[in-house]
A and B are shown apart, each in its own frame.
Chain A
Amino acid sequence: DTGVSQNPRHKITKRGQNVTFRCDPISEHNRLYWYRQTLGQGPEFLTYFQNEAQLEKSRLLSDRFSAERPKGSFSTLEIQRTEQGDSAMYLCASSLENTEAFFGQGTRLTVV
């Protein structure tokens, strides 16, 4: 499968725990985006990278969220001290510069 890959597909965690998600973009795509989607809503922008540089981070993103793309390939999104409001689908997308973005299947997070 040469598409965007996300792991894990599902994550259930207790409130207060830390979680980390991984995204493997399409090979050679230099842009990588993270979005969050709640039921019945469109994807909400979280952050994006060009190569290893994090170019923008949403003001909606609290300090508990951090993302990295250390070698310009895969990326990780970490949520510290999870809260019930963090329950959502976390989507990753990748693209070449100035071209369409392709989404992964997402990681569904449930905080109990």
Chain B
Amino acid sequence: GENVEQHPSTLSVQEGDSAVIKCTYSDSASNYFPWYKQELGKRPQLIIDIRSNVGEKKDQRIAVTLNKTAKHFSLHITETQPEDSAVYFCAASSNFNKFYFGSGTKLNVKP
């Protein structure tokens, strides 16, 4: 089955700096890669996703890149704000059948 690894487990940045979270996956059949943000005690919320036919996707301050050959994908947050502080999870899926999640990255944005 699929194995998703996520790094780092914790990340602390100064407000305004960029943050990068990286994930690797093992199953070459995976073709959909969502990123979720989870605040304490709340549901995971989809913030951005990418399909395997695309190498990069941007949505305002958030971007995701995908390298299918190397089987890794990354989340980039620019101009970080304190409200970006949360736990971020990457996931991988083959045809949306089920999602394998990474172990999460706790992002702390210091004001």
Inside 8 A of A56's CB, which chain B residues have their CB? Answer: 97-98
Q: How many B residues face the partner with a CB closer than 8 A?
A: 22
Give the contacts of B70-107 with A (CB-CB under 8 A): 89, 91, 95-104
**By the criterion CB–CB under 8 Å, are B34 and A100 in contact?**
yes
Asked if A43 and B89 make an inter-chain contact with CB atoms under 8 angstroms apart, the answer reads yes
Task: Tell me if A25 is interfacial: C-beta within 8 Å of chain B.
Answer: no
Q: Does A99 make an interface contact (CB < 8 A)?
A: yes
Bound-complex Cα distance A57 to B49 (A): 25
Q: What CA separation (Å) do A33 and B45 show in the bound complex? A: 15
- Tell me if A103 and B49 are in contact (CB < 8 A): no
- Closest beta carbon of chain A to B36's beta carbon, Å: 8
- Residues of A near B6 (CB, < 8 A) are 42
- Would you call A100 and B49 a contact (CB within 8 A)? yes
What per-residue 1/0 map shows which CB atoms of A92-112 lie under 8 Å from chain B? 000101111111111000000
Q: Does B43 contact A (CB under 8 A)?
A: yes
Interface residues of B in 23-42 (CB under 8 A from A): 34, 36, 42
Contact of B34 (CB < 8 Å), options: A31, A101, A104: A101
Taking A4-B43, A103-B45 as known contacts, 15 extra A-B pairs with beta carbons closer than 8 A to each other, sorted by chain A number, are A40-B103, A41-B103, A42-B104, A43-B89, A44-B101, A45-B100, A91-B44, A95-B96, A97-B96, A98-B95, A98-B96, A100-B46, A101-B99, A103-B36, A106-B43
Task: Supply 9 A–B pairs (Cβ within 8 Å), ascending by A.
Answer: A42-B91, A42-B103, A43-B89, A48-B98, A55-B97, A56-B97, A99-B96, A101-B46, A105-B42
The 7 lowest CB-CB distance pairs between A and B, nearest first, are A42-B101, A103-B43, A105-B43, A103-B44, A45-B98, A42-B89, A43-B101
Which residues of A are interface residues toward B (Cβ below 8 A)? Answer: 4, 31, 33, 35, 40-45, 48, 55-56, 91, 95, 97-106
